[in-house]
A and B are shown apart, each in its own frame.
Chain A
């Protein structure tokens, strides 16, 4: 992969300090190193609890880094002010988590269009894009005006994916994007990932679905290397 990496991590460390449990210090990451180039998809692997999600959350600015560098585009997330992270999330860095977190009562169409609306995209255009994605992900049209809070797990997952792909983020974090999906929808999601790669998005993901991982990922990084007490 040529060119400058879109996501570049070095010397990243993280402890959790539990002040209400005797100040217990739990080291969860030591000297993590990682880079993802534009158009590349990298999978994080490692046993449950090894720190895959923790690493993704630190890149998104959801967990604070102890030390080290997390460069996404031009920004070091580890040092950035909150409003810089907010702007990064709006424009540059998307995140498809496993759980849908939305204001109850908001129609699905608006939930999916929201990332575009917050970028200032005109409402009709944002809604067109949302309709297109919801259609591709086989969410029945009669559900579009309803809040996704009442949907099934698989439907919520697809709404979450539609929302995550609404804007063409240059960098994308995917936490088990194909979990709880049937074969047809899994195929749609993998195609969306391939399209994002083709337009140059740098993608970092957790895939327990090995066939999916083999198909879309160019490389695998085992986070066990960064787990304190586990590394050789």
Chain B
């Protein structure tokens, strides 16, 4: 089996400071990779370099494209990259306002992604939008409301619907459950797990919540000062951490 994503020696510097340095990993279809670390450890920089929102200084991000097999995304032309971002890739922002169009209805937010890949039949688009609103547990009668009328948790679920409606194969998520209250967080985790299983989705999830990665991620990378200090099976890294920083991270979690 070919990895869906192969990251090789990815490095990003901000002048003299390190954003992330020499990060390498493989991600296979249906796998969820968690990235944890304290604020400023480079996890968001890494995610943004992977997704192409930031230009890395060196390294390769090789994606197994449907048409041409594995290709280095960093060497693609801008139109190719944009096409990828609209079709096989998705990015779920921490703040739903960054991933939604706040002036457009909920149905429009979902339908717009379909139109971007060529859908033109209004009835079909609305039908699919309704189906996805239902999957993320947003009542169908809210389809014409704008996201500004939604709660934070609903906005986050709408963002996920908007991102997944085109059937992407790889989703990048930046603190997808951050800022949500715990009951909404649980609902979202369940939703994401179901989607990973049913759609064979792969995901890279950045979070500082160890409970979230334990339930969602198959594998885990721990970052500190821009470096990956430890990586492995999620429960192994959390239950038998090898690096001093990971041991500190795991032992610092407050028990509810």
Contact surface of A with B, Cβ cutoff 8 Å:
16-20, 57, 61-64, 82-83, 85-86, 101-106, 117-118
The answer on a CB contact under 8 Å between B236 and A18 is no
B247 located at the interface, meaning its Cβ lies under 8 Å from any Cβ of chain A in the complex: yes
Pick the contact of B31 from A18, A62, A83 — CB < 8 Å?
A: A83
B215 located at the interface, meaning its Cβ lies under 8 Å from any Cβ of chain A in the complex: yes
Inside 8 A of A62's CB, which chain B residues have their CB? 233, 235-236, 239-240
Please, could you name 11 A-B residue pairs with CB atoms under 8 Å apart, sorted by A? Answer: A19-B248, A20-B251, A57-B239, A57-B240, A62-B233, A83-B219, A102-B215, A103-B186, A103-B193, A103-B215, A105-B187
Q: A16-B240, A103-B189 are in contact. List 15 more A-B contacts (CB 8 A).
A: A18-B247, A19-B247, A20-B244, A20-B251, A62-B236, A63-B236, A64-B242, A83-B28, A83-B219, A103-B186, A104-B183, A104-B186, A105-B183, A105-B190, A118-B197
Residue of A nearest to B26 (CB): A83
Task: Give Cα A57–Cα B240 distance, bound, in whole angstroms.
Answer: 10
Task: Give Cα A17–Cα B248 distance, bound, in whole angstroms.
Answer: 12
Inside 8 A of A117's CB, which chain B residues have their CB? 197
Pick the contact of A63 from B189, B239, B248 — CB < 8 Å?
A: B239
* A55 CB → nearest B CB, Å: 13
Pick the contact of B243 from A19, A63, A82, A101 — CB < 8 Å?
A: A19
Interface residues of B in 127-156 (CB under 8 A from A): none
B179 located at the interface, meaning its Cβ lies under 8 Å from any Cβ of chain A in the complex: no
The answer on a CB contact under 8 Å between B218 and A86 is yes
Contact of A82 with B186 at beta-carbon distance under 8 Å, contacts A19-B243, A20-B248 already known = no
Contact of A85 with B233 at beta-carbon distance under 8 Å, contacts A20-B248, A106-B190, A118-B197 already known = yes
Task: Give Cα A85–Cα B239 distance, bound, in whole angstroms.
Answer: 15
Inside 8 A of B183's CB, which chain A residues have their CB? 104-105
The answer on a CB contact under 8 Å between A82 and B239 is no
Task: Give Cα A86–Cα B214 distance, bound, in whole angstroms.
Answer: 14
Interface residues of B in 180-218 (CB under 8 A from A): 182-183, 186-187, 189-190, 193, 197, 214-215, 218
Inside 8 A of A18's CB, which chain B residues have their CB? 247
Task: Give Cα A170–Cα B47 distance, bound, in whole angstroms.
Answer: 39
The answer on a CB contact under 8 Å between B186 and A64 is no
The answer on a CB contact under 8 Å between A19 and B244 is yes
Inside 8 A of B215's CB, which chain A residues have their CB? 101-103
Inside 8 A of A83's CB, which chain B residues have their CB? 28, 31, 218-219
Task: Give Cα A149–Cα B217 distance, bound, in whole angstroms.
Answer: 20
B232 located at the interface, meaning its Cβ lies under 8 Å from any Cβ of chain A in the complex: yes
Task: Give Cα A118–Cα B200 distance, bound, in whole angstroms.
Answer: 10
The answer on a CB contact under 8 Å between A20 and B247 is yes
B227-238 CB contact bits vs A (8 Å, 1 = yes)? 000001101100
Residue of B nearest to A17 (CB): B242
The answer on a CB contact under 8 Å between A103 and B190 is yes
The answer on a CB contact under 8 Å between A82 and B247 is no
Task: Give Cα A17–Cα B242 distance, bound, in whole angstroms.
Answer: 7
* A79 CB → nearest B CB, Å: 13
Pick the contact of B233 from A16, A19, A82, A106 — CB < 8 Å?
A: A82
The answer on a CB contact under 8 Å between B240 and A63 is yes
Task: Give Cα A104–Cα B239 distance, bound, in whole angstroms.
Answer: 21
The answer on a CB contact under 8 Å between B236 and A61 is yes
Residue of B nearest to A64 (CB): B240
Residue of A nearest to B192 (CB): A103
Most buried by A among B31, B190, B233, B236: B233
Contact of A86 with B236 at beta-carbon distance under 8 Å, contacts A64-B242, A118-B197 already known = no
Inside 8 A of B244's CB, which chain A residues have their CB? 19-20
Task: Give Cα A17–Cα B251 distance, bound, in whole angstroms.
Answer: 14
Instruction: In the A-B complex, list the 4 residue pairs whose CB atoms are closest, starting with the nearest.
Output: A19-B244, A104-B186, A63-B240, A82-B233
Inside 8 A of A104's CB, which chain B residues have their CB? 182-183, 186
Inside 8 A of A61's CB, which chain B residues have their CB? 233, 236
